[in-house]
Structure 1
Amino acid sequence: MNCSKKLHHLLLASAMVLGTNGFAQAQDITNIEQFSLYHPSISGSYLAGRGAFEDRQNDLAASYFMDALEADWGNIALLDRAFVALVSAGRVEEAEMVAKQLLSVEPQNELARITVGVVALKERRYASALKTLEGMSKDSLFGITGNVIWSWAVTDVKNGQVGVENLEPISQPGFKNFLVFQSALMADLSGDLKLAEALYDQAYEADPFVFRIVEAYARFLGNQGKFDAALDIIKRYNDRGLTHVNIETLTEMLAQKKRPGRMANNVQQGAAETLRGLSSALSREQASDISILMMRLAGFLHPKSDLITFSIADLMERADRFEVANAHYAKVGRDSPLHGEALVRTAENLQEIGDVDEAIRKLSNLANTMPDNLTAVIALGDALRRDKRYEEAAKAYDLALEMTGGERTIDWHLYYVRGIAHERDGAWEKAEQDFLQALELNPDQPQVLNYLGYSWVDQEMQLERALEMIEKAVALRPEDGYIVDSLGWAYYRLERFEEAVETLERAARLSPSDPTINDHLGDAYWQVDRKREARYQWSIALELTTEDDEELAEEIRKKLKGDFSTLKRVADLSN
């Protein structure tokens, strides 16, 4: 496990310790019933605020909690709720006022101390920031975060070496390389180039494929006139099949031998990168409350950062707050490398909220007006495919592959999605060719192994080879219910019914809400003469079907009525 993954898992564990909402709960509001006896509006505002916060309507939640707080400024739980909601809504200056009140009754609240310290740092009140953040824990998530921000503050007051020395004693697993990277940024800003280079090199060797580390190190080398070395750093990143618009823009500058400038030009930007990096690590799988909160603090410190603005939008998108996400994407500057991707994500979000035609129209316009925007072309193909316009989708993917050349490792995905479009459009030979080409570029890609293997199984083609592919996919993704289902169905087609039952039962446990998996399990039960369980499983599958599964639903209804003509027949192994 590399350092980034260790940090991510530690942050997740910290979030669990801090509470299910991702922040430290001061206490339950045990007196809310007493409040409602004398102030009926208090409980109403509190409950409305809680509901809004759970729905990630953070701005509305903050307003409700503030209404409730007006009646009792000494209530720790209400203070905590209002404070967190305000920060999560980006109302950081208001949150600071509540944080100070919270600290008056709960002086060890680390998140409140960080917020007060961040506001002081933003306003260049460095002595106040240092005093607020002094002596924070070096063991907890927020304590370590406070220590890094303290180090940024002292870097402006004294020098980067003092900030680096403050971080050296922190030994919490998972944070080591993150802290080395932060120390490199501090040394770079303070002009200690020898220390900065050593720290950048250490961070890079530990995590050579984290785009922000790659970007910062390449910038540092470019600023020293070491353009070839900087480009070598980026080439290693690209050779791994990785890409990022910031890296692409930086590559152009370095190729022209232009000095790109530091990643952090002042301590405010440096501390913003600290908070952005922690938020990004924590949100790798989901947009947690802590990740949103930290990104909001980052945005407060560095409001002109398009990367942070884009990241806030991304978090809102992951929280299904698509309209809020689009409002933030609209703030990404036209001259930003992220502008094109922001436009694409805006269109994709329109599709998420049901405006499919407008989403496709916007993406078509983007593909025409920004012919070099590969992201727009791929997104157009994806939107058309989701709208079941498979032939048009395949043509969009054709264009994307023309743009890339189709030979990069990362191009496996374009062949894969074009293969899906061809397969859904009934052009199996084209689809099969695309899937095989995807595997040429990435032989261990479980999605492709599974899709091609399952397609062969479902068509009763190359069953033994298909089984090998699916077994490999399962080994790579053992907890993926859909891939395990493919293995069970391969066993079924090969008349290995007992193995099919065992495997499909496991798939149903992993993905209990999928109608196809439950239908497959019913078929397998029937073949081993477990007829009652088969009918029960088919009933479950039927209940799980939606309007998009009407063909499957009709097959299930026939089986439940005793018509087994649609029961998937077993392969004729003599062929």
Structure 2
Amino acid sequence: MCAAAPAAATLGDAAAIGNYVRARLADTAGAPEQAVTGYAALLAQQPDDSAIALRAWRGAMAAGDMALALRAARLLDARGVLPAEGRILFAAEAMTMRDWAKARLAIDRIEEEQAFEFLAPILRAWVDQGAGDGPSAARLQGRLPGLTAAYGNEQRALLLLADGKAEGGVEILRATGGNGSSIARDAVRIAAASRLTSLGQRDAALSLLSEDDVDLAAARALVARRRLPGAVTTAAAGLSLLLVRLAEDIQRQQPTPIALSLTRIAGMLDPRSDAAHLLAASMLAADGRSASAIGALDRVDPKGPWVSRVGDARAQLLVQRGEADAALAFATRATRAKAATAQDWIRLGGVQSAMAHHGEAAKSYARAIELNQAAGVDPGWTLWLLKGGAYEQAGDWANALPALKKAAALAPDQAAVLNYLGYAQLERRENLEEAERLIRRASELRPKDSAITDSLGWAYYIRGNLPKAIETLERAVAGQPDEPTINEHLGDAYWAAGRRIDARYAWRAALIGAEGQVADRLRDKIDIGPQANP
């Protein structure tokens, strides 16, 4: 395997070519920490090469090497090719240095270049707060334009709290409700509650922390002990939390390196920001960089409110890395502690399910339900579905059915629950009328879900309505043409209707993605047709 040398490198410069090749290979292998060593050396050798500087920038952001990111950003800026988020990095650097004049100049450039100009009023408000220039939150009063409004009210609340104005900040946060995505939303609430605790407003702090959210419930316990970290009292910490919110929103809409860059800048602004490290870990894990993700998790406060979320993420990463036994040992240890929680047992159940230990997983989920009920906490439909699904996959239908029915009773408008219960009964040829009703309702709730459409078509097939089965299964295949089960079901329906050529065509399509016993069954069907009722 080889990589082409950068355009600006001299072919005779063996050191430059070697650094480039090593960096690119490490980058491709998902090892950004190793890649940045090569990029840093190459940047020193080829400082006039914009392509190398850009690779160094991206590599530095992936690895969280902010010193290299700043070096690369300055070179890119000098050549007029600085990525838009580079302006935010310059503003962040100025804020960490408390150089308010330099920060204001950086914000001017952000506004001029327009990519992130909607942040400018908020950034100026935090600079005013840091510099002590008047009531900083006043900049965000009144009707805010466009995207600024999406973040401005929340940031105004944090500014008021930073200035010790508890009542105004709490009022705004209560009005904004729980909108937003999980890490950023919870981080704002935790930051506000931490600041309120330090201001002696314990009851107000607790009012912002829901008992139904695992992380916020943990934060409530820390408030009681006056040990809740995360307060935002500086401009750097305020901007950090703003970037966490923005990065998570961007990542949810479209995963992109920009989101990770913003998250890394957030971590530079506030190295103790658990939210920034958690979000970075999530993005790195989604990109297959599990070692880097674990490194980010290691930076989260082990005594803070995010312990449960970190444990879940660590267990999932170990499974993804093929270290299932280590994940199982890690999850099991947590359940053996005296203070083991329902979430610890849910985590263990997830690992056991990933290892196909479904019977053990069902017992773990059952234990989680018991702990929640003992604490007066509603386990919720999701946990009943996990328990029922684990029993069903373990072949214990007698225990699966009541758990699945409980989930459906708690969540009559959750398509996933209705479809699971209906399809499981179809497969066992019991309660067929009820099974079809459940799946039909699931399909009404999610008409474009190909898996549910397949279940509905299969219900029609099982109950002998072949024309409707074929029409419905054809729609399912159109929505997900490479899914083996849907194609097999369509082939079975074609065969039952006497359309033998169409049936074999559908089974061949199913065979493309099939493995193991499923592939063997499909080959038999293609050769001699179905030998028994499915």
The interval holding the TM-score normalised by the smaller chain is 0.7 to 0.9
Distance 1:564 1:535 in 2: 11
Given the alignment of the two structures, is residue 244 of structure 1 paired with residue 214 of structure 2, yes or no?
yes
Contact 1:33 1:43 in 2 (8 A): no
Task: Report deviation, 1:54.
Answer: 6.2
Provide Cα deviations, 1:158-206, integer angstroms capped at 9, x if missing partner.
3463465168675224x42322111221222133456534543443387
TM-score (norm 2): 0.87
Inter-CA distance 262–99: structure 2 relative to 1 (3 Å threshold): closer
Distance 2:153 2:528 in 1: 67
SS in 1 for 2:498: coil
Deviates more, 1:109-118 or 1:33-42: 33-42
Q: In the TM superposition, what are the counterparts of 1:74-89 in structure 2 within 5 Å?
A: 74-89=48-63
Q: In the TM superposition, what are the counterparts of 1:397-546 in structure 2 within 5 Å?
A: 397-405=365-373, 408=377, 410-546=379-515
Provide Cα deviations, 1:49-101, integer angstroms capped at 9, x if missing partner.
56755665433444444455455433434333322322232111221122122
Deviates more, 1:444-453 or 1:62-71: 62-71
Coordinate RMSD, CA, aligned = 3.4
Distance 2:144 2:48 in 1: 35
Q: In the TM superposition, what are the counterparts of 1:13-412 in structure 2 within 5 Å?
A: 53=27, 56-70=30-44, 72-106=46-80, 109-137=83-111, 140-145=114-119, 147-159=121-133, 161-162=135-136, 164-165=138-139, 171-173=145-147, 175-193=148-166, 195-204=168-177, 210-219=185-194, 227-234=202-209, 237-238=210-211, 242-245=212-215, 247-253=216-222, 263-284=231-252, 287-369=255-337, 371-405=339-373, 408=377, 410-412=379-381
Contact 2:136 2:159 in 1 (8 A): no
Letter matched to residue 361 of structure 2: A
Using CA pairs under 8 Å that are at least 6 residues apart, name the structure with larger relative contact order, 1 or 2: 1
Inter-CA distance 320–480: structure 2 relative to 1 (3 Å threshold): farther
Contact 1:164 1:186 in 2 (8 A): no
Task: Report deviation, 1:103.
Answer: 1.6
Inter-CA distance 249–354: structure 2 relative to 1 (3 Å threshold): closer
Contact 2:243 2:266 in 1 (8 A): yes
Letter matched to residue 474 of structure 1: S
Instruction: Report how many residues are paired.
Output: 528
Contact 1:287 1:318 in 2 (8 A): no
Task: Report deviation, 1:211.
Answer: 2.8
Percent identity (aligned): 26
Distance 1:309 1:370 in 2: 28
Distance 2:136 2:298 in 1: 40
Inter-CA distance 282–232: structure 2 relative to 1 (3 Å threshold): same
Letter matched to residue 301 of structure 1: L
Deviates more, 1:423-432 or 1:143-152: 143-152
SS in 2 for 1:354: coil
Task: Report deviation, 1:365.
Answer: 1.8
Distance 1:433 1:427 in 2: 11
Provide Cα deviations, 1:509-533, integer angstroms capped at 9, x if missing partner.
3333322122112112223333222
Give the gaps of 5 or more residues in structure 2: none
**Equivalent residue, structure 2, for 1:27:** none
**Equivalent residue, structure 2, for 1:11:** none
Contact 1:558 1:566 in 2 (8 A): no
Task: Report deviation, 1:268.
Answer: 1.5
Give the gaps of 5 or more residues in structure 1: 1-30, 569-575
Contact 2:84 2:115 in 1 (8 A): no
